[in-house]
């Protein structure tokens, strides 16, 4: 008898997971995996934050029952998310113009947002930055949209090309969905300035675009508030827009899948109608969100001592990444190579587009056991005081040719 799966083809491997497999199989003790997208501490471990540990202990002792949550998640969590994104004194919160639903990480937030937009503006095209986090394209295509790009990265400056980006936005039809990295652009590390963000807001307003801000790294560039600069410019603009946010990185809670989708509308009445539609999307997908991660995040955010502890721990992660950026640049400067890597200090968040070619990345792997993405993206949070010299030596060796 023939199998119903006989004609199923093997799907292409996820490139980053493939990299991890190759890394795990490498027996060299000096190996380093710069391909990952998670924060490691100086010992190369994913931290369990002290604030999280305390909140978990309290929760375990309270032994709460495990009933279903509301479809959109609990009010306390959603309100904490809004305060973090828009500021506790935000006019859009006060006016009831923003609704939030707990989501399965930033990915889940993007997806329920995509599914909702598909119901409201079925003919839209989604535009993502060139380049972008790979899952942006796959995810919006899976939600049924054609996905195109807007120019973003300028290899000459290793920064963002805001002029080209805005010029493109100014050609797009009304109702186009524009996915924007709110801070700490993945994969390039190149962010827009506040003045450039203001221009992006203006373009979105004049063209009638649908901005969808992806905030996966709040607190990893300059701090919780400064990293919300783009979100707040949009909030002040009077436009309607979407924000997906994630606590995977900022709370080191990757596997708990804690995120949120916030939607800013024009009126409180619109908010109620939009939320009712979003709840249908969620209900038919996973019904309601899991309890644990969200409960921990909302306990930390609303308990002053835990909140202070978390903010200090977040600052610690941010500062360590910065120290690795300056450390790498300093070490490369002392390696006698004719290439200037000082741009690495200007890039923000977890990643850097180093400009290393695919061939150089390959050599780093073969000769040094240092694994990076073929695009030259490296994760600064995988560097530490023990491997920094080794990585600098390897980069210097491959750029010398």
Rounded Cα distance between 20 and 85, Å, is 33
Count of residues of this chain found to bind ligand PLP when the rule CB under 6 A is applied: 13
Using the rule CB under 6 A, give the single segment among 103-111, 141-149, 189-197, 220-228 that binds ligand PLP.
103-111
Burial of 290 (0-12, 13-18, 19+ CB in 10 A): middle
Least separation in angstroms between residue 236's CB and ligand PLP is 23
| The binder of ligand PLP chosen from 73, 106, 189, 293 (CB under 6 A) | 106
Q: Which residue is nearest to ligand PLP, using beta carbons? A: 105
For ligand PLP, give the closer residue by CB, 16 or 205.
16
When asked if residue 37 is in the footprint of ligand PLP (CB under 6 A), the reply is yes
- 60: tokens are 């375990």
Q: CB of 198 within 8 A of CB of 162?
A: no
The active-site residue, picked from 31, 118, 168, 214, is 214
Least separation in angstroms between residue 37's CB and ligand PLP is 4
When asked if residue 176 is in the footprint of ligand PLP (CB under 6 A), the reply is no
Nearest to 357 by CA among 370, 374, 343: 374
Rounded Cα distance between 31 and 370, Å, is 5
Active site residue 197: no
When asked if residue 375 is in the footprint of ligand PLP (CB under 6 A), the reply is no
For ligand PLP, give the closer residue by CB, 248 or 298.
248
Torsion of CA 224, 227, 231, 234, to 10 degrees: 130
| The binder of ligand PLP chosen from 259, 294, 327, 369 (CB under 6 A) | 259
Least separation in angstroms between residue 36's CB and ligand PLP is 10
Using the rule CB under 6 A, give the single segment among 63-71, 105-113, 204-212, 384-392 that binds ligand PLP.
105-113
- Residue owning tokens 């073969």: 366
The active-site residue, picked from 249, 279, 331, 365, is 249
> Which residues have a Cβ under 8 Å from the Cβ of 308 and sit 6 or more positions away?
none
Please give the angle made by the CA atoms of 107, 200 and 236, to the nearest 5 degrees: 85
Least separation in angstroms between residue 106's CB and ligand PLP is 3
Active site residue 249: yes
> Binding marks (x or -) toward ligand PLP, 133..152, rule CB under 6 A?
x-------------------
Active site residue 214: yes
The H or E element containing residue 344 is helix 343-346
| The binder of ligand PLP chosen from 33, 55, 99, 105 (CB under 6 A) | 105
Crossing angle of helices 194-207/229-237, nearest 10°?
Answer: 40
Rounded Cα distance between 276 and 158, Å, is 43
β pairing state of 153-154 and 159-160: antiparallel
Least separation in angstroms between residue 29's CB and ligand PLP is 28
When asked if residue 293 is in the footprint of ligand PLP (CB under 6 A), the reply is no
When asked if residue 186 is in the footprint of ligand PLP (CB under 6 A), the reply is yes
Distance of CA 37 to the CA centre of its chain: 9
Least separation in angstroms between residue 81's CB and ligand PLP is 13
Please give the angle made by the CA atoms of 353, 356 and 358, to the nearest 5 degrees: 110
Rounded Cα distance between 167 and 180, Å, is 15
Least separation in angstroms between residue 250's CB and ligand PLP is 10
Q: CB of 211 within 8 A of CB of 242?
A: yes
Least separation in angstroms between residue 249's CB and ligand PLP is 7
When asked if residue 73 is in the footprint of ligand PLP (CB under 6 A), the reply is no
| The binder of ligand PLP chosen from 191, 214, 256, 309 (CB under 6 A) | 214
| The binder of ligand PLP chosen from 90, 102, 107, 347 (CB under 6 A) | 107
Rounded Cα distance between 289 and 240, Å, is 25
For ligand PLP, give the closer residue by CB, 113 or 327.
113
Give the bridge partners for 351, in sequence order.
379
> Which residues have a Cβ under 8 Å from the Cβ of 204 and sit 6 or more positions away?
169, 178, 211, 234, 237, 239, 241
Q: CB of 249 within 8 A of CB of 350?
A: yes
Q: CB of 261 within 8 A of CB of 113?
A: yes
| The binder of ligand PLP chosen from 188, 232, 246, 298 (CB under 6 A) | 246
When asked if residue 216 is in the footprint of ligand PLP (CB under 6 A), the reply is yes
Kindly list the catalytic residues: 133, 214, 249
Contact residues: ligand PLP, CB under 6 A: 37, 105-107, 133, 181, 186, 214, 216, 246, 248, 254, 259
């Amino acid at each position: 008898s023939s199998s119903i799966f006989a004609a199923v083809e093997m799907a292409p491997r996820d490139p980053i997971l493939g990299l991890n497999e190759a890394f795990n199989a490498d027996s060299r003790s000096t190996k380093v995996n710069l391909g990952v997208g998670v924060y490691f501490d100086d010992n190369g471990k994913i931290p369990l934050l002290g604030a999280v540990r305390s909140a978990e202990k309290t929760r375990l002792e309270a032994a709460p029952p495990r009933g279903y949550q509301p479809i959109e998640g609990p009010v306390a969590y959603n309100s904490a998310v809004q305060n973090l994104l828009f500021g506790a004194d935000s006019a859009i919160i006060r006016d009831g113009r923003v609704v939030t639903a707990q989501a399965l990480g930033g990915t889940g937030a993007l997806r329920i947002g995509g599914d909702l937009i598909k119901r409201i503006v079925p003919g839209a095209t989604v535009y993502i930055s060139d380049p972008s986090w790979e899952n942006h394209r796959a995810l919006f295509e899976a939600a049924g949209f054609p996905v195109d790009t807007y120019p973003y990265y300028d290899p000459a400056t290793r920064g963002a090309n805001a002029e080209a980006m805005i010029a493109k936005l100014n050609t797009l039809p009304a109702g186009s969905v524009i996915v924007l990295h709110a801070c700490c652009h993945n994969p390039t590390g190149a962010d827009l300035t506040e003045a450039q963000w203001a221009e992006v807001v203006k373009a979105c307003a004049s063209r009638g675009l649908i901005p969808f801000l992806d905030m996966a790294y709040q607190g990893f560039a300059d701090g919780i508030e400064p990293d919300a600069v783009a979100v707040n410019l949009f909030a002040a603009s009077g436009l309607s827009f979407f924000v997906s946010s994630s606590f995977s990185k900022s709370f080191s809670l990757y596997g708990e899948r804690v995120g949120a989708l916030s939607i800013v509308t024009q009126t409180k009445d619109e908010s109620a109608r939009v939320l009712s539609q979003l709840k249908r999307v969620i209900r038919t997908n996973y019904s309601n969100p899991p309890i644990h991660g969200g409960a921990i995040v909302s306990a930390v955010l609303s308990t002053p001592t835990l909140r202070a502890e978390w903010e200090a721990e977040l600052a610690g992660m941010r500062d360590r990444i910065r120290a690795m950026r300056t450390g790498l640049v300093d070490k490369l400067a002392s390696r006698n190579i004719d290439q200037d890597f000082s741009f690495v200090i200007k890039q923000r968040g977890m990643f850097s587009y180093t400009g290393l070619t695919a061939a150089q990345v390959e050599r780093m792997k073969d000769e040094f056991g240092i694994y990076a993405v073929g695009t030259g993206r490296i994760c600064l949070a995988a560097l530490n005081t023990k491997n920094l010299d080794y990585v600098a030596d390897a980069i210097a060796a491959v750029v010398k040719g």
